[in-house]
Structure formats: C-alpha cells, structure tokens
Amino acid sequence: MRKKIILFILLGWLLLVIGDRVDELRVYQGAQIAMYTIALASIVLLTGYSGQVSLGNGAMMAVGGYAAALTLNNLGSPVWFAFLMAIFFSALFGALLGTAAARLSGPYLAGTTLALAVGLPAIANQFSFLGGEPGIFFDVGLPPQRLGQEFTQYKWFFWIATLIALLALFITSNILQSRFGRTWRAIRSNPLATELSGIHSSQMKILAFTISSALAGLAGAVLAMTISLVAPGAYTLTLSFALVTGAVLAGVSSLPGVVLGALILVAIPEIADALANRLGGGENVSSYLPGLIVSILLILSVIFTPNGPGENLHRHHRKKA
C-alpha cells in the first residue's frame, strides 16, 4: 500500500514537471487525457469487472457536470465542493438506475442506457435553469496569483484534472483489489456459483453501478471545467460511444490500460488531422478520417485482441506466476 502511494505521488510529480515543459496545446490535451482516464475507469469498473454493459456513461457525465456547475453557480461554494457534489449526485443517480439495471441483462441493459444517453442531456432544453442548448458556465476561476503570470488557465485545468484523475485511479484501484473487486469478477465469470455461495449479486451490481456512475460524474465535471461550460452538446451519444471504444481499445478489464485508452482517444483526431492535411482532402477528410481510423482500430481489436492490447502480455505474466 505504501509503495503504491509513493508510486502515485511520483507519477503526479512527473506529470506536473512535464506540464511545465510542453506548450499550451499539450497541456490542454493533458487535461483531456486526465478527464478521459476517469471516464474510462468508470467503464472498466462496470463492464470489465461487474460485467454490465452501459452505453450511457455520457449521461452520467452530464449529471456530474450539471451538478458541479449548479453547485458552483448557485451556492457560490468552493470548487472542490462542486466536484464533490458531482460525485454525490451522479452516484445517487447511478444507484437509482443501477437498481433498475440489476434486473436487466445484456441487450436490455444496453438498450436502457442507450435511451438514457440520448434522452438525458436533452432535458436541459426543457428547464431554463439548465440553460438550454447553450448551457451554463462552469468557471473554476483563474489560477492563484502566487503561481505567477506565466501560469496559464489551461495549465491550471491540467493540474486540477491530473490531481483528480490520480486520486480517482488510486481509490478505484484499491476498490478493485478489495473484496468487492474480487466479488465482481466472480459474479462476471460465474453468476450462478456466486449466488449460491451466498453473495447477493444484485446488490453487488448496484454497488458497481453506483461507483461507476460516481466516476463518470466526476469525469463529467472535469470535462465541464476544461471547457468552462456544461451544455447538452458536450455529453452526446458520440461521447458515450467514444468511451466504450476507448475502454475496449485499452483492454476492458485493465485499470492501468485506461491511461492508454484516454491517450488514444485524444491522439487519434490529432493523428487523423495530420494525415488529412497530408492527404489534402479538406474538411470532409478531416471530419471523417478520425472516425474511420477509430472504427478500423476498434474492429481489428475486437477481432484480434478483444480484451485489449495488454491481453497477451498479461497471459505471459500469469504463466510465469
């Protein structure tokens, strides 16, 4: 345990040092990577560990984003409290949904969460306090003065996002290595046997849904921070699909893999853009090339290494052990 704490602190320090050395775009993307890392951890926990398929993580992120923004704007609370409220409300919502979800299996759950992903963000258009399509602002404020003039807004976002992501990963990895993590894996691989051994699998599933939602909500608040805004347009079906994609590309049951998945999600549009510029196809190419690359990667990875690129690596480790 102590080793792990040291590892995380070291990691954080390394990231902050890197943040000082790169230009603003990379810092901004670093914050996005941190955001995706949290969001993907939420999927890994739910799908990779408890075996439930959710296509509605975008909706959970929206709950978190709106909870954070409404808290900050209406209560004038400190920023950390807004993030805490994002966790609280999305967990609450996740628990409610998880109660329904625990009764559903496979495609029924996928359908329900898909419907949620489409429907929930649109609610913002109905109630004026949610700001409609333009959304509401979520302004975590300028970086503290003592950090100096050169300390940009985006670097501030990067610091906050990285700190939150590291904390979230630390806690998640501890949960996954605890009794709960083991039980989830047992339920996933053999639901009947687990039920017979006296474990209430539905309660455990609801718990997984709740924690996963809390993580997603936190990611939603971080996303809102990086764009200073919560709006339905930020939590689209495309986002939900992208998250599932990232989780699969990273290996759906590997927590460390989420960093890689997040990196891929941020890097691919960038690579595609560079490629599009080289090909010189104009707007059409740069709009659709990222999708093309992601889709091809996704299809190949499902066919060849459905459990992620780390799959073969892990197998080696296991054999040795």
Partner 1 sequence: MIRKTPRKGTWLAATVLASGSLFATALPAYAEAGVSAREIKLGITLPLTGAASPGYNKIGNAMNAYFKYVNDNGGVYGRKITLIQKNDEYSPQLAIAKTNELILKDKVFALVGPLGTATYTAVHKSVNLAKRGVPSLFLNTGFSGFSDKKSYPTSFMILSSYAMEAKIVAQFLKDNHAGKKLGLVYQNDEFGIDAITAFKAAGTKFDVTVPYTSGSQSAATAQTWVSQLAAGGAQVVVFFGVTSATAPLLAVSAAAKYAPQWILGSVGSDPLTLRALGVPVAVLNGAQTPAGNPSPNDTSDEYVKQFQEINTKYNDAPFDDYVLQGMNLGLMTVQALRAAGSNPTRKGLIRAMESKGSSFASVAYSPLGYSKTSNVGHTGYYMAVMDANGDRKPFGGTVKLYTTDSGSGPVVLSTFKRPAMPAKGLPSNS
Partner 2 sequence: MQKLLETLLIGVSTGSIYALMSLALVLVWRSTRVVNFAQAGQAMLSTYFGYEIASRSEIFWLGLAAAIIAGALVGAGVDFFFMRVLFKRAISGPAAVVAPVIATLGLLGLIRSIVGLTWGGEFKSIQAPASKDGLTIGQTTIPFSALNILIIATVSLILITLAIIFQRTNLGLSLRASAYAPEIAQLAGIRTARTRTIGWAIAGGVGAVAGMLVTSYNFLSPYSLDLLLVFGFIAAVIGGLESMVGSVIGALVLGIGLTFILNYVGTSLVFIGGFVVLIVVLLVKPDGIMARGKARRA
Alpha-carbon torsion 217, 116, 52, 44, what sign? Answer: negative
Q: Does 185 bind partner 1 (CB under 8 A)?
A: no
Q: Does 298 bind partner 2 (CB under 8 A)?
A: yes
* 103-106 LR contacts (CB < 8 Å, sep 24+): 103/202, 106/53
Q: Which of 42, 47, 183, 226 binds partner 2 (CB under 8 A)?
A: 47
| Least distance (Å) between residue 189 CB and partner 2 | 9
Q: Where are the alpha helices (H) located in 76-200, listed in sequence order?
A: 79-101, 106-119, 153-177, 179-189, 191-196
Q: Does 53 bind partner 2 (CB under 8 A)?
A: yes
Q: Which of 59, 263, 285, 294 binds partner 1 (CB under 8 A)?
A: 263
Q: Which is nearer to partner 1, 148 or 198 (CB)?
A: 148
Give the integer Cα–Cα distance in Å for 27 and 255: 23
Beta bridge partners of 137: 229
Q: Does 265 bind partner 1 (CB under 8 A)?
A: no
> 65, 222 in Cβ contact below 8 A?
no
Q: Residues 240-279 vs partner 2: string with x where CB under 8 A?
A: -x--xx--x---xx--------------------------
Q: Which of 99, 185, 191, 314 binds partner 1 (CB under 8 A)?
A: 314
Give backbone dihedrals phi and psi of 236, rounded to 5 degrees, phi first.
Answer: -90, 175
Chosen from partner 1, partner 2, none, partner binding at 15 (C-beta under 5 to 8 Å by type) = partner 1
Q: Scan residues 273-292 and list those touching partner 1 (CB under 8 A).
A: 283, 287
Q: Does 75 bind partner 2 (CB under 8 A)?
A: no
Residue 45: which of 214, 194, 203, 193 has the closest Cα?
214
Residue 246: which of 22, 19, 58 has the closest Cα?
58
| Least distance (Å) between residue 104 CB and partner 1 | 30
248-273 in b/e form (b: 16+ CB < 10 A) is: bbbbbbbbebbbbbbbbbbebbeebe
Chosen from partner 2, partner 1, none, partner binding at 289 (C-beta under 5 to 8 Å by type) = partner 2
Q: Which of 28, 38, 51, 70 binds partner 2 (CB under 8 A)?
A: 51
> 213, 98 in Cβ contact below 8 A?
yes
Residues that bind partner 2 (CB under 8 A): 47-49, 51-53, 55, 100, 103-108, 110-112, 114-116, 118-120, 122-126, 188, 237, 241, 244-245, 248, 252-253, 281, 284-285, 287-289, 291-292, 294-296, 298-299, 302-304, 306-308, 311
